Amino acid sequence: MLRHVNRLQSAVYGIAIGDALGLPVQFMPRDSYPEVTEMIKSEKLPWPAGTWSDDTSLTLATVDSLLTCEGVDIPDMRARFMDWMDNGAYTQDGEAFDQGFTTVHALTHGCGCTNEQSNGNGSLMRILPLAFVKNLSDEQIAQVSGITHAHPLSVEACTVYVHAAQLVLDGFSLTEALETASLSSEIFSYLADISSRKRNEIRSTGYVKDSLEASFWCLLTTDNFRDALIRAVNLGDDTDTIGAITGGMAGLAYGMESVPDSWMNALRKKEIIERCLASQ
């Protein structure tokens, strides 16, 4: 069973909007492009403004599984991920794109990757919906991450992120939640003080540790949805995923009313999101 389902919408839309804002400038070096403040079309990518990528698609697959199965069902969730990869399920144009190597390798071979080199952000970007599962265990977080990313570092990043989201749902402020969740982890305890770092000290790569660090920095150095997302997608490099990770937590903390109308209106095919949210 899930809790606080009425707040799931803002978290999922936060992910989709952060993903779509960041996708057009993905992998571009920091400060090499005009500041992104609205949904734009990439000069290099073929998709229209407002298009989301694998970050959102796999989050929607996770949500669909959790709501349909009324909790964590690993075989069902893996099957939905396979449907995305093979058939373009949960995509806006019927075809998966921007798939991470680790994710594809793990789904193709039927087990999550455990080597040190497989610590991309591919499970962190989709893990947030687990915060809504009643009586969720850390073992379940590990199992869901481990569908694709089973190394302890990826699992720990997902655990910290989900714990922070649970605290927000329990009524903690965003700052309290992020700091408390960070301090509970030996690996990520330093994130409790991440707001003291300057922008040029923040890494924004697809390495899971960098992605969580960048997202927490954006959230802890802003006080609203819009500013957090603008900060995230203008860090450069893995902008869509850092936008998605930041956006999910910001959406959860600040609610649907905080989302700029221009961003919401530009997001393509919202009916796909609504269909997954209604899978009960």
Q: Is the pLDDT of residue 87 over 90?
A: yes
Which SS3 state, helix, strand or coil, does residue 16 take?
A: helix
Residue 280: the pLDDT is 59
Residue 196: the pLDDT is 97
- How far is it, in rounded angstroms, from Cα 66 to Cα 2? 8
| Mean pLDDT, the chain, integer | 96
Q: Give the domain CATH number at 136.
A: 1.10.4080.10
Q: What is the pLDDT of residues 58-81, one digit of tens each?
A: 999 999 999 999 999 999 999 999
Average pLDDT over residues 187-191: 97
Tokens 């959406």 — which residue? 251
Cβ-based neighbours of 200, under 8 Å, separated by 6 or more: none
- How far is it, in rounded angstroms, from Cα 191 to Cα 166? 17
Instruction: Count structural domains, the chain.
Output: 1
Q: Residue 29 CB: number of other CB atoms within 10 A?
A: 9
pLDDT band of 31, cuts 50, 70, 90:
very high
Which SS3 state, helix, strand or coil, does residue 221 take?
A: coil
Cβ-based neighbours of 222, under 8 Å, separated by 6 or more: 228, 231
Which SS3 state, helix, strand or coil, does residue 272 take?
A: helix
Kindly state the percentage of the chain with pLDDT values over 90: 94
Single pTM value for the model: 0.98
Q: Is the pLDDT of residue 110 over 70?
A: yes
Q: Is the pLDDT of residue 172 over 80?
A: yes
**What tokens appear for 201 in the block?**
């000290």
- How far is it, in rounded angstroms, from Cα 22 to Cα 48? 13
Q: Residue 255 CB: number of other CB atoms within 10 A?
A: 15
Q: Residue 196 CB: number of other CB atoms within 10 A?
A: 10
CB 156 within 8 A of CB 173: no
Q: Is the pLDDT of residue 14 over 80?
A: yes
Average pLDDT over residues 218-228: 98
Q: Is the pLDDT of residue 165 over 70?
A: yes
User: Which residues span the domain enclosing 226?
Assistant: 5-277
Burial class (CB in 10 A: 0-12, 13-18, 19+), 195: middle
Q: What is the pLDDT of residues 136-146, one digit of tens each?
A: 999 999 999 99
Residue 104: the pLDDT is 94
pLDDT band of 1, cuts 50, 70, 90:
confident
